[in-house]
Amino acid sequence: MHGTLTFLGTGTSMGVPTLGCPCAVCNSADTHDRRLRPSAVLRWNDEAAGGKSGVERVVVIDTGPDFRAQALRERITHVDAVFYTHGHADHILGLDDLRPLSFIAEKRGVPIPLYADAEAKKVLERTFEYTFSPDSTYLTRARVQLTDLKEKNMVHGVEFVRIPLLHGKQPISGFRFGNAAYLTDVSAIPETSFALLEGVEVLVLPALRHTPHPSHATLEQSVQWAHRIGAKQTWFTHIAHDLGHEETNRSLPKNTQLAHDGLSVAVTL
Ligand SMILES: [Zn+2]
Ligand SMILES: [Zn+2]
């Protein structure tokens, strides 16, 4: 089955331009240097579902604070599921903007499943208490269903495999689907996770900047991982304002490039 992976945002937690920053990248005229908070959407045509033309399936990975603007830009009109990598603000704060889409999902019969590991689930329940509490009196809360993230998770015939990763000391999740994998906010990839990435042809890795950070890989580290994993294409995301798009991509080999907001790549599911 053919699918499309689209980068909703490729910026680091603060976004680029970063508020109050006078640097060249934050003031760049190149639209590739404008990066919303990190998120991606996978879409495919579910031929097995009803009718001659099938049904479009839409799975979002992380709903950051820019989710509403991203969904408008990419014309996301329904969501079948959301997978959360972890519970930090830049990955979850757009959850409430799922509300109108969740009303559409509810009309179709089911609330939107939100796949999250135990840690991320705790943060979501705390942050959006008015959504998840059984005592909530907020009638127009999002129609969403927190769902335990397992090693393998099936959404309308597509398997999403959890890839265990480390973000500083915190265990977080990456995801593999078909010939593609989306890993963000990684500072270390456990040995056993490399086995889960075997045969990946479209790889997404984070590349914050050149200078080391306690919980994020540098561009150089990610280039090494890209080389080891050996995907046909590796796209970098979660990019800080230290890396200008054109200049950085000129310095990288053709099969490893910085992604940009709105970039779509074909995947096989
Ligand atoms: Zn992040
Ligand atoms: Zn800047």
| pLDDT per position as a tens digit, 157-166 | 999 999 999 9
Q: Is the pTM of this model over 0.85?
A: yes
Q: Which ligand is nearest to the CA of 33?
A: 2
Give all strands of the β-sheet with 2-9 in edge-to-edge order: 144-148, 112-116, 81-83, 55-61, 39-46, 2-9, 264-268
Ligand nearest to the CA of 17: 2
Ligand nearest to the CA of 22: 2
The answer to whether the beta carbons of residues 120 and 90 sit under 8 Å apart is no
Ligand 1: centre distance to CA 244 (Å): 19
Dist. CA 64 → ligand 1 center (Å)? 9
Q: Which sign, positive or negative, has the C-alpha torsion 7, 11, 13, 17?
A: negative
Q: What is the pLDDT of residue 145?
A: 97
DSSP type of residue 201: S
pLDDT in the model for residue 212: 87
What residues contact residue 182 under an 8 Å CB cut-off, 6+ apart?
5, 40, 61, 174, 175, 176, 204
**pLDDT at residue 263 tops 80:** yes
Residue 20: other Cβ atoms inside 10 A: 7
Residue 49 has pLDDT above 90, yes or no: no
Three-state DSSP class for 179?
coil
Query: 185 C-alpha to center of ligand 1: Å?
Result: 5
Instruction: Note the pLDDT tens digit of each residue in 74-100.
Output: 999 999 999 999 999 999 999 999 999
Instruction: Give the pLDDT mean for 25-49.
Output: 96
**DSSP 8-state secondary structure symbol assigned to residue 208:** -
What residues have a C-beta under 5 A from ligand 2, the ion? 18, 21, 23, 26, 241
What's the rounded mean pLDDT across residues 262-267?
98
pLDDT at 24 (0 to 100): 97
Distance CA 217, CA 23 (A): 22
pLDDT confidence tier of residue 195, bands split at 50, 70 and 90 = very high
CA–centroid distance, residue 90 to ligand 2 (Å):
18
pLDDT at 258: 97
Beta bridge partners of 172: 165
Q: Which residues of 211-235 are buried (b: 16+ CB within 10 A; e: fewer)?
A: eeeebbbbbebbbebbeebebebbb
In this prediction, residue 52 carries a pLDDT of 79
The mean pLDDT of 129-139, rounded to a whole number, is: 92
- DSSP strand pairing (233-237 vs 202-206): parallel
Q: Which residues of 53-86 are buried (b: 16+ CB within 10 A; e: fewer)?
A: eeeebbbbbbbbbbbebbbeebebebbbbbbbbb
Residue 196's SS3 state is helix
By three-state DSSP, how is residue 193 classified?
Answer: helix
Shortest CA distance to 101 belongs to which of 92, 93, 110? 110
Q: Per DSSP, what are the bridge partners of residue 266?
A: 4
pLDDT recorded at residue 50 = 73
Kindly state the tokens that stand for 177: 């689907």
Q: If you measure from the C-alpha of residue 24 to the centroid of ligand 2, how many angstroms do you get, rounded to a whole number?
A: 7
The closest ligand to the CA of 215 turns out to be: 1
CA distance 231 to 6: 18
Instruction: Return the pLDDT at 4.
Output: 98
